[in-house]
Amino acid sequence: MTQHVLEMRGLKQNRVAISYEQMLRFHGGPHPGGVAVAYKVLETAFPLVSPGEPPERSRIQVVVGVDGPGVVDGLECATRAFSRQRAIIDRGAKKGQPVCGEHFYFEVHYKGTSVSLWLKDGTLTGEFLALASKTSGGLASEAEVARFDALRHEMAERVMTSPACDLFEIGPVVHG
């Protein structure tokens, strides 16, 4: 797999580089697709909210519509937004492909500039969604759990090799 690296600026403006592989190790769990989505959200948002230079890590704020462990761990590893109280989980977000009642919707805020991204319908397959529901409800057979695990890895690979325009709708942050 190609080395994917997010660049930010840290304390005293030093360079902070966080790779997708580091995000996966930080997560340490069975949700590589969520980690991949988190990586691609930041990779897509950074040039939009901080054109021409990497953003300062300590000033990045995020809002997410999904509380999935891969997504949360990936965003936390890269930005430290959850542990530093710069992250909000917005269960009322209704944009983005829903999975088990939550939506793959994201906002990235940085120094007065914001962008919203949401997973395009169809990015997650019907089989993935059905097995996510059965697995989270404790109704999946061992074979279905194994298939879902394989689909999570396939999703991660697909997300990491896809351009952002194939994954996300991108727009301004609109609060209604």
Residue 73 forms part of a structural domain:
yes
**Total count of domains within the chain:** 1
Q: What are phi and psi of 68, to 5 degrees?
A: -65, 140
The Cα 135–Cα 156 span in angstroms is: 18
How many residues appear in the chain? 176
Q: Is 164 within a domain?
A: yes
Structural domain including 163 reads 5-171
Quick check: is 62 in a domain?
Answer: yes
Q: Would 176 be classed as within a structural domain?
A: no
| CATH of residue 147 | 3.30.1330.130
Could you tell me if residue 127 is inside a domain?
yes
In this prediction the pTM is: 0.94
**Parallel, antiparallel or unpaired: strands 168-171 and 113-119:** antiparallel
Q: At 73, give phi and psi (nearest 5°).
A: -65, -40
Q: What is the pLDDT along the chain (176 residues), one digit of tens a residue?
A: 457 999 999 988 899 999 999 999 999 988 999 999 999 999 999 999 999 999 999 999 999 999 999 999 999 999 999 999 999 999 999 898 888 889 999 999 999 999 999 999 889 999 999 999 999 999 999 999 999 999 999 999 999 999 999 999 999 887 65
SS3 62: strand
Handedness of CA 88, 94, 100, 101 (dihedral sign): positive
